[in-house]
A = this chain, B = another copy of it.
Amino acid sequence: MKNEKAIVVFSGGQDSTTCLFWALKHFKEVETVTFQYGQRHSQEIEVAKSIAAELGVKHTVLDMSLLNQLAPNALTRDDIDIEQKEGELPTTFVDGRNLLFLSFAAVLAKNSDARHIVTGVCETDFSGYPDCRDVFVKSLNVTLNLSMDYEFVIHTPLMWIDKTETWALADELGALDYIREKTLTCYNGVIADGCGECPACRLRKRGLDQYLATKERG
């Protein structure tokens, strides 16, 4: 695939930054796309921009605030405001979010003459979202190809690996330190090793500790 172009669905977090390094290794040209909507920690967009700039890849931010129109509470009950605490998933999480993101990424890819789409979705740390499953991604790949009469290939380098193995992959790609120091996973918006307290930080740290322990033991 060395002569082809890929677009990476990119949030500036550990997983999608690992995917970005993976794509830079496998493709001649790489672009990134970040989806911006109310639910995200706003700092994420800045981190994504900054990493894309450092790695010298084009970065497109798509405004997906449209998603908020689809939140069930806001739609079905006019009297309820969408409640959201800083850094937490909103109560009105939108079904099919990944379906929508990957569909928009495909439209963007075709417009950029790219046929490869790289996403960090993962069935191993199963989140409970059906649109992170491998069977969904494969079905979507066929649907996208039919929808635009184009031969997209969706790549999911993290689909079958856990957080420990994701750190191992980052290390193989020569990017362990970079990803550890520059990415944002923390719900409280603290870059790198994060606040250490929130669920995302704990998950990230456990994987890293396990990987580093394995590496030391050789």
Which residues on A are within 8 Å of B, measured CB to CB?
Answer: 60, 62-64, 66, 69-70, 72, 75-76, 94-96, 98-100, 103-104, 106-108, 110-112, 130-131, 133, 135-136, 139-140, 142-144, 146-150
Which residues from chain B contact A107 at a C-beta distance below 8 Å? Answer: 70, 94-96, 100
- 14 sample A-B contacts, Cβ–Cβ < 8 Å, listed by A number: A60-B75, A66-B66, A70-B107, A70-B111, A75-B108, A75-B112, A96-B106, A96-B107, A96-B110, A96-B144, A99-B143, A99-B147, A100-B103, A100-B107
Whether B143 lies near A136 (C-beta < 8 A) is yes
How many Å from the CB of A105 to the closest CB on chain B? 10
Which residues from chain B contact A106 at a C-beta distance below 8 Å? Answer: 96
The answer to whether A130 and B147 touch (CB under 8 A), given A69-B62, A95-B111, A139-B139, is yes
How many Å from the CB of A174 to the closest CB on chain B? 32
Residue from B66, B76, B112, B130 in contact with A148 in the complex, judged by beta carbons closer than 8 Å: B130
The answer to whether A111 and B146 touch (CB under 8 A), given A66-B64, A99-B103, A139-B139, is no
How many Å from the CB of A97 to the closest CB on chain B? 8
**A96-B144, A99-B144 are known contacts; what are 15 more A-B pairs with Cβ within 8 Å?**
A63-B66, A64-B66, A95-B150, A96-B103, A96-B106, A96-B107, A96-B148, A99-B103, A100-B103, A130-B147, A130-B148, A130-B149, A135-B146, A139-B139, A140-B143
Copies in the complex: 2
Q: Which of A130, A139, A143, A148: most chain B CB closer than 10 A?
A: A143
Interface of chain A, main secondary structure: helix
Q: Which of A72, A75, A100, A139: most chain B CB closer than 10 A?
A: A139
Residue from B64, B95, B100, B131 in contact with A110 in the complex, judged by beta carbons closer than 8 Å: B95
Residue from B94, B95, B111, B146 in contact with A136 in the complex, judged by beta carbons closer than 8 Å: B146
A126 to B158 Cα, complex, angstroms? 40
Which residues from chain B contact A133 at a C-beta distance below 8 Å? Answer: 146
